Structure 1
Amino acid sequence: MMMSWRSLFGGRKSGPRPNVVLILLDQFRHDARSVHPVFSTLGDRGCLFSETITYAPYTLASMHATMTGLYGRQTGVDAYTKSDQFQSGQCHTLAQYLQEAGYHTRGYTFSKLLVPPDGFDSLSIVPEDEETGVLANQLAELDAAFAQSKPFFCYLHYPEIHHVIVRDVLRKYTPFDEEYFGNRERNRAAYLEAARGAAEHTAALLEAVDRRDPNGDTLVVVMTDHGGGVGERVGEKAYGVFTYDYTIRIWMYLVCAPLLPAGAEFDAQVRTVDLVPTLLELLELSPSSRHTALTGRSLLPLIRGEETSGRPAFTETGGVEGPNPSPDHPNVKSLRADGWKLIYNQTINTFELYNLVEDPHERTNLYTTHPEKAREMWVKMSEYL
């Protein structure tokens, strides 16, 4: 049996494994958490991984990676058009792990393309044009989950930021529209208003969990799948076109009083593919030996202080629009490691190299002036290509 957090501190808790609630706030920027105190509350109650890097800056590929602990070349979902190519026989999803461990598993999202359905006893798919009240519907999902006689896993995807951006940005402007890219402050203000709605939704869900579980035994994960632009780079109105940090640098909270420390922030770089192995170790479940070995690694060594350095993070995308659209194959790759970032655009064969410590907004391309660092980063990136 694998060593878990609770077995290191006070021994295994008696009784069933904890319920697991995963709240996904679609397209929530790293720098937008200040809009509401719910994020400070989450940080006070659990662990914040403040330098999390997503595999893909769009939901479909990001969540197939997050839910399996595998990158797109392993899941088969590495592009916008490849949801139907998910390698279900080779990948084991978080829902499947928990279902096999005796959990009731249920979820709520707005498209069947966005998350692998494997392992869900119930997966409610409510398209945007049929949604009558996302909060009421997700509270009903929690009610149904807590009514179970066995532990449950409940996945709740909040889509409203995405819906607002699609309606007010993606369908309104072209990828090179001066009206949009020339009004970043206006764009940001509109984005933050949508982010406040997401935060209020999160606070309501957490309050509902606390009412049903006043002891705080439920393992709650709150995270986003990717960030979103507000006009930083001409050609990308929101997400999915490039791999700059405003879309790939995200965050993740893990909260569970019996299992995890409170008020702990970890700023070492981690990846969204690290979530599944982390939950498996916390719940004392073994990775499947019948499926592709996990790419991600448990975050518990960071929590226990056994590991302090960040992990290399690979990201890739292929936009449906922009200067080099490639919806069928990822054509823009990035490798983030040790405070540096290399970006490679396969379509036009260009490279960008950034020192993220000195240049966090990625404005000065050092590729030609730092050839040794560029070669070092290319070798690291090549491991993922």
Structure 2
Amino acid sequence: MQPLSRRALFAGAGAPFVRAASERPNLLLIMTDQQTHDAMSCAANPWLKTPAMDSLAADGVRFAHCYTPYPVCSPARSSVFTSRMPHETGVRVNGKAIRSGMPTMGEIFRDAGYETVYGGKWHLPRSFDGMTAFTRLIGGSSQGKDMDEPLATACAKWLRAKPRQPFLMVASFMNPHDVCQWIRDHKGRREHPNLAQYPPAPLNMAADPDEPEFMRHHRTQGIDLMSQGVGIAAEWRVEEFRHYLHDYYRMVEAVDRQIARLLAALRETGLDRNTFVILTSDHGEGMGAHRWVQKASFYDESVRVPFLVSGAGVRRRGAVDHQSLVSLIDILPTFCDFAGVPAPSPVRGASLRGALEGKPLDRQFVVSELRYGDETREGRMVRTARFKYIVFNGGANPEQLFDRETDPGEILNLARNRDYAKVLAGHREILRHWIKASEDDFRPPVGD
């Protein structure tokens, strides 16, 4: 494989000029928490109805292959607000603050003349307060069933109060994160009189006995609440997994109803005509695939998230981009591009303007990071157009390689298949170049 150019590694973005305030769009970032990529009816999922999300997809573009930079809350959010990877932001586990001096979304747009407001979950480090360079509209609580409705109310009220424009609003909802508590409340086995109403169990439900040792450790050791959740699910039968999926989808529908209220306020005030909207989630949910629940894995259910773009400046309607490899680090440079605000340097993401116009993003791969506990159990994922490569920094069986074209369920690990030796070597090389270019301190235990 030829060495990668810096342009291939980092597709930087940001307009070379600052537009007049009267020409700049308002910006709205809607975030859910723990929503897997296809938990929307616009993604052809027949087991739930999400009319609010569907309306954004119908009015804009849905990116089918968006990945989180880290499938856990705080690290992912640190990347959203900086367009830098978690190893750069210093947020490698939950409840840490972004490294001092690193430019953040609120600061960038506040300094460019935007009114910046934030409602809901922050988690950098405090869960519902201390938003950097944002006016706090409302905080929240640990359960979406308690906080999402007040959040939507507060955001809608602010929009109806004729806010100063341009503005940047972040509405960060909690659900379907409530599934974490649901899992802890559903230990063991039970009767299921409504089984016929439940979704089927995933076809890729079997756990790989040769999974990387560090993933097996997470499954069995109960090192944190995420690990304990996977351990609880290990005792479930197929029926319990089906019940879990049914109730998870109800949580997605619940947050969609609150998003609908926010979007209604935007439309009723006419602000939608000059507001650029992105909807996404910080990470996904295990969905029972590989007998995994919650987050903290590189399997697609946990690491791949919804990504909808709509509103001012988006001319395509009802389009689905199946080619672009998108990351949450692309949000900040995309906002900067559409607002005519220079992005800081460096950023690791890219503007999605071209992709929104129908030209797929010129990107060879995206990367995600993950730690189980501390730096002694750490991994990286490289997703290319066809393959997904995973490697941990130690333990038995540290590598996984999946052919996403022939094996979308990620069942067959090809890392030790000699027929794929060149593919494996190529992905190792991509990761080596990325580590060097992004000054990552991760050290794979394997080479060519």
User: How far apart, CA to CA, are the structure 2 residues paired with 1:137 and 1:284?
Assistant: 29
User: How far apart, CA to CA, are the structure 2 residues paired with 1:353 and 1:14?
Assistant: 48
TM-score normalised by the chain length of structure 2: 0.74
User: How far apart, CA to CA, are the structure 2 residues paired with 1:300 and 1:202?
Assistant: 24
2:220 alignment partner in structure 1:
none
Contact 1:111–1:126 (Cα < 8 Å) also in 2: no
The one of 294, 300, 307 aligned to 1:238? 294
Q: Tell me: CA distance 1:186–1:250, structure 2 relative to 1, closer, same or farther (3 Å).
A: same
Q: Tell me: CA distance 1:230–1:251, structure 2 relative to 1, closer, same or farther (3 Å).
A: closer
Q: Structure 2 matches for 1:170-209, cutoff 5 A?
A: 170=184, 172-173=186-187, 174=228, 175-177=230-232, 178-180=234-236, 182=238, 183-209=240-266
Q: Tell me: CA distance 1:55–1:139, structure 2 relative to 1, closer, same or farther (3 Å).
A: same
User: How far apart, CA to CA, are the structure 2 residues paired with 1:105 and 1:329?
Assistant: 39
> What is the Cα deviation at residue 176 of structure 1?
3.0
The one of 49, 66, 77 aligned to 1:52? 66
- Which string of whole-angstrom CA distances, capped at 9 and with x for unpartnered residues, describes residues 72-107 of structure 1? 1111112235x13x2130x21111111111111111
1:364 alignment partner in structure 2:
412
TM-score normalised by the chain length of structure 1: 0.86
Moved over 6 A (4+): none
Q: Structure 2 matches for 1:1-385, cutoff 5 A?
A: 2=15, 15-34=22-41, 35=48, 36-80=50-94, 83-84=96-97, 86-89=98-101, 91-110=102-121, 112=123, 113=125, 117-122=131-136, 124-128=138-142, 132=146, 134-145=148-159, 146-163=161-178, 165-170=179-184, 172-173=186-187, 174=228, 175-177=230-232, 178-180=234-236, 182=238, 183-213=240-270, 216-234=273-291, 236-240=292-296, 242-267=297-322, 268-289=324-345, 293-319=346-372, 326-327=373-374, 331-349=378-396, 350-369=398-417, 370-382=420-432, 383-384=434-435, 385=442
Q: Tell me: CA distance 1:122–1:342, structure 2 relative to 1, closer, same or farther (3 Å).
A: same
> What is the Cα deviation at residue 310 of structure 1?
4.4
Contact 1:66–1:275 (Cα < 8 Å) also in 2: yes
User: How far apart, CA to CA, are the structure 1 residues paired with 2:412 and 2:137?
Assistant: 45
Answer with 264-273 or 124-133: which moved more: 124-133
Q: Tell me: CA distance 1:299–1:231, structure 2 relative to 1, closer, same or farther (3 Å).
A: same
User: How far apart, CA to CA, are the structure 1 residues paired with 2:146 and 2:246?
Assistant: 26
User: How far apart, CA to CA, are the structure 1 residues paired with 2:138 and 2:21?
Assistant: 32
User: How many aligned residue pairs are there?
Assistant: 364
> What is the Cα deviation at residue 329 of structure 1?
6.5
Contact 1:45–1:257 (Cα < 8 Å) also in 2: no
Answer with 185-194 or 277-286: which moved more: 185-194
Contact 2:37–2:301 (Cα < 8 Å) also in 1: yes
* Cα RMSD (Å): 2.7
Q: Tell me: CA distance 1:214–1:298, structure 2 relative to 1, closer, same or farther (3 Å).
A: closer
- Which string of whole-angstrom CA distances, capped at 9 and with x for unpartnered residues, describes residues 129-175 of structure 1? 79855323332234225533332211111103112x12111465443
- Which string of whole-angstrom CA distances, capped at 9 and with x for unpartnered residues, describes residues 303-339 of structure 1? 34454554411112124xxxxxx25666132110121
Answer with 121-130 or 136-145: which moved more: 121-130
> What is the Cα deviation at residue 118 of structure 1?
1.9
Q: Tell me: CA distance 1:67–1:301, structure 2 relative to 1, closer, same or farther (3 Å).
A: same
User: How far apart, CA to CA, are the structure 1 residues paired with 2:138 and 2:428?
Assistant: 42
Three-state SS of the structure 1 residue aligned to 2:119 is strand
- Extract unaligned runs of 5+ from structure 1: 320-325
Contact 2:327–2:349 (Cα < 8 Å) also in 1: yes
- Extract unaligned runs of 5+ from structure 2: 1-13, 42-47, 188-227, 436-441, 443-448
User: How far apart, CA to CA, are the structure 1 residues paired with 2:264 and 2:92?
Assistant: 36
